[in-house]
A and B are shown apart, each in its own frame.
Chain A
Amino acid sequence: MISPGRWPGNYRSAFIVTVEFDADLRIRALIPDAAERTKSLSVGQYGATRGVTRLLGTLERSHIRATWFIPSENLERQQLHCAAIVRAGHDLGNMGVALEDLSRLDLSEQLHLIDTAQAAFRRGTGRAPIAFRSARGSYAPGLPAALVARGFAWSSSWRGDDLPHFHAGVARSLVELPIHYELDDYGYFVFNLDPPIPAGSARIASTREVLGNWKTEFAAYRDEGLCFVLTLHPELIAAPGRIAMLREFFDYIRSFDDVWVATGGEVASWWTKTAPPNLPGHPVEVFDRVRDGELERHRSTGA
Chain B
Amino acid sequence: MPLVDRSNLRPGRFCFSSDWVTDHQTNWQMLFGQLAGRPDVRFLEVGSFEGRSTIWWLRNIVTHDSSFITCVDPWHAVLFGHRMEFEERFNHNLACARLSHKVRKMKGESRRLLGALSQNSFDAAYIDGSHAPMDALLDGLMVLPLIRPGAVLLFDDYDLAYSGQPTMKPVRRAVDQFLALAGDAIEVIHRGWQLAVRKRDRPSLVQLAVEKVNPHLIDSGPLAGAD
Q: Are A and B genuine complex partners?
A: no
